[in-house]
Chains A and B, each alone.
Chain A
Amino acid sequence: MENLRDLYQEVILDHNKNPRNFRKIEDPDGFAHGTNPLCGDQIDIYLKIKDGIVEDVSFEGAGCAICTSSASMMTIALKGKSEADAEALFNSFHHALTEDDEYPEDVPLGKLKVLTGVKDYPVRVKCATLAWHTFDAALKKLQGNVSTE
């Protein structure tokens, strides 16, 4: 079980136990509901955008430790970012979890890096990316592009 410490690092376990920004935003500017039909994980993402900046982002839902901690850490990472920077971070994070080559260093992952251990557990990658895909859907809806995912 010790070999799983790389996956379940203390930071991840902490965010799982005490998820940050785990709440509903009343009158959000953006909202999306994400599910992983394979495992039943469900997540709601709420967005407040002001002048193109992510003023507030929060989540609710039920998922595993990877899903919950990834959502929690995502809300912290996104707050204060411009829409364009948020999208760039999503792409960088997604790249780091799904592609074999190094992710582009021009968008550093910072604390999100602890989640890249998931890459070694292919069936769990979707757990880590669910919140991000849902955020992306909420943003795109707001921008007028309905996701066809």
Chain B
Amino acid sequence: MTNSAQYNIKAIRNDFPILGREIFGKPLVYLDNGASTQHPVQVINAVKDLYEQNYSNVHRGVHTLSQESSELYDNARVKVRGFINAACVHEVVFTSGTTESINLVAQSYARPRLQEGDEILITHMEHHSNIVPWQMVCEQTGATLKVIPISDSGELEMDQFHAMLSEKTKLVSVVQVSNALGTVNPVKEIIDAAHAIDVPVMVDGAQAIPHMPVDVQALDADFYVFSGHKIYGPTGIGVLYGKEKLLNAMPPYQGGGDMILSVSFEKTIYNQLPYKFEAGTPNIAGVVGLGAAIDYVNSIGLSTIAAHEHGLLMYATSKLQAIDGLRIIGEAEQKAGLISFVLDAVHPHDIGTMLDGEGVAVRAGHHCAQPVMERFKVPATARASFAMYNTFQEIDVLAEAIRKTIGMFS
């Protein structure tokens, strides 16, 4: 367990107003962080202050408010750069979220390069958002989608990956942490192998970014994508990191304002990075909120958060394993952030409703990863996913609520 002298869980919880809520008269136990995390007052206030003090459109007016908003907006990009250690600030493109980031790479990077016979390599544990955009681009180009299989424990079959990687492969897109299994994939090994034959790699970091330090240069990732709302920031804001060389060679994804240098009816000259990919008025409050979320996470430290969450994961795993009739789906050696499980006697949707009755919020369903459900021959799972503010005592509440649920259904 994490030493409370090092990890001030009480102070952290006090920063999250919603954690004071009661559900059906019971204290909220929020274990649906994999779907979306809650917001510290520092993020809420950053957005509130922007609207109350500084708000206007960015990169437009010469007036004071526009300048202040632009500065706050641009500063957030600097924070993101530091957070993922990108080489330069303009390698950070703001999008509406992980999904849009992946679609941008699929349409703007992959589509113009793909031909019939080419292959895109993904894994069996991808979220639908890292499957469907590639299916769409394959349909548009005649390329083929190849899927790296996973083992019964929920780990990538790396032998298969190495065998599938070939001169036909034009891009590898892989999730760093599975949202349905919690598996941490060896992305560095994947990137190194792909780069050995000059194949670029996109990493879906949506579930990794809140749980572990990420250094895109150390990874040598060509593209790295994540969402703000899974790291204590607002919804509707996400990041596409791309290597400058690759981003520069890509056409714009959408046309509009801010992404141009000059427009005439004869010729339009596109803006430079990152604005080339940020058409239209951006999600200013979302960006400012994301910047505040990064500041907050940095103030505690991702390594410290990771250690606390690892403790929660170990504790929850042993607690849940001790429950008769409970099966954990996803038993990879390297896991982060979450436990998926099924009960012999109770369907996951009923688990979800029953736990809600005890104030415990978990996700029930296929987690937008239907191929994973099929692989493990379950229609759905229940998922408890952790964040920096969860406590060991909350794991006890979860385990007790599961036991009560089983009791009522058998």
A1 and B350 contacting across the interface, CB-CB below 8 Å: no
B365 and A40 contacting across the interface, CB-CB below 8 Å: yes
| B365: A residues at CB distance < 8 A | 38-40
Q: Is B278 an interface residue (CB 8 A)?
A: no
Supposing A1-B354, A1-B358, A65-B409 touch, asked if A40 and B346 sit within 8 A by C-beta, the answer is no
Q: Is A77 an interface residue (CB 8 A)?
A: no
Assembly CA distance A62 to B366 (angstroms):
13
Q: Is B401 an interface residue (CB 8 A)?
A: yes
Q: Is A84 an interface residue (CB 8 A)?
A: no
Q: Which of A10-56 contact B (CB under 8 A)?
A: 13, 16-17, 38-42
Distance in Å: Cβ of A69 to nearest Cβ of chain B: 10
| B370: A residues at CB distance < 8 A | 40
Q: Is A3 an interface residue (CB 8 A)?
A: yes
| B24: A residues at CB distance < 8 A | 3
Q: Is B379 an interface residue (CB 8 A)?
A: yes
A65 and B380 contacting across the interface, CB-CB below 8 Å: no
Number of interface residues of B (CB under 8 A): 22
Q: Is B48 an interface residue (CB 8 A)?
A: no
A65 and B350 contacting across the interface, CB-CB below 8 Å: yes
Assembly CA distance A43 to B353 (angstroms):
21
Supposing A1-B357, A8-B408 touch, asked if A40 and B347 sit within 8 A by C-beta, the answer is no
| B358: A residues at CB distance < 8 A | 1
Assembly CA distance A42 to B373 (angstroms):
14
Supposing A39-B380, A65-B346 touch, asked if A7 and B409 sit within 8 A by C-beta, the answer is no
Q: Is A64 an interface residue (CB 8 A)?
A: yes
Distance in Å: Cβ of A99 to nearest Cβ of chain B: 22
The contact of B353 among A4, A13, A17, A67, by CB within 8 Å, is A4
| A39: B residues at CB distance < 8 A | 349, 364-366, 380
User: A94-125 toward B: CB 8 Å interface, digit per residue (1/0)?
Assistant: 00000000000000000000000000010010
User: B364-392 toward A: CB 8 Å interface, digit per residue (1/0)?
Assistant: 11100010010000011000000000000
A124 and B353 contacting across the interface, CB-CB below 8 Å: yes
- Chain B residue nearest to A62 in the complex (CB): B379
B347 and A65 contacting across the interface, CB-CB below 8 Å: yes
Distance in Å: Cβ of A12 to nearest Cβ of chain B: 10
| B354: A residues at CB distance < 8 A | 1, 4, 8
Assembly CA distance A63 to B354 (angstroms):
16
- Chain A residue nearest to B351 in the complex (CB): A64
Assembly CA distance A63 to B346 (angstroms):
10
Assembly CA distance A7 to B356 (angstroms):
13
| B366: A residues at CB distance < 8 A | 39-40
List A residues at the B interface (Cβ < 8 Å).
Answer: 1, 3-4, 7-8, 13, 16-17, 38-42, 62-68, 121, 124, 127
List B residues at the A interface (Cβ < 8 Å).
Answer: 24, 346-350, 353-354, 357-358, 364-366, 370, 373, 379-380, 401, 404-405, 408-409
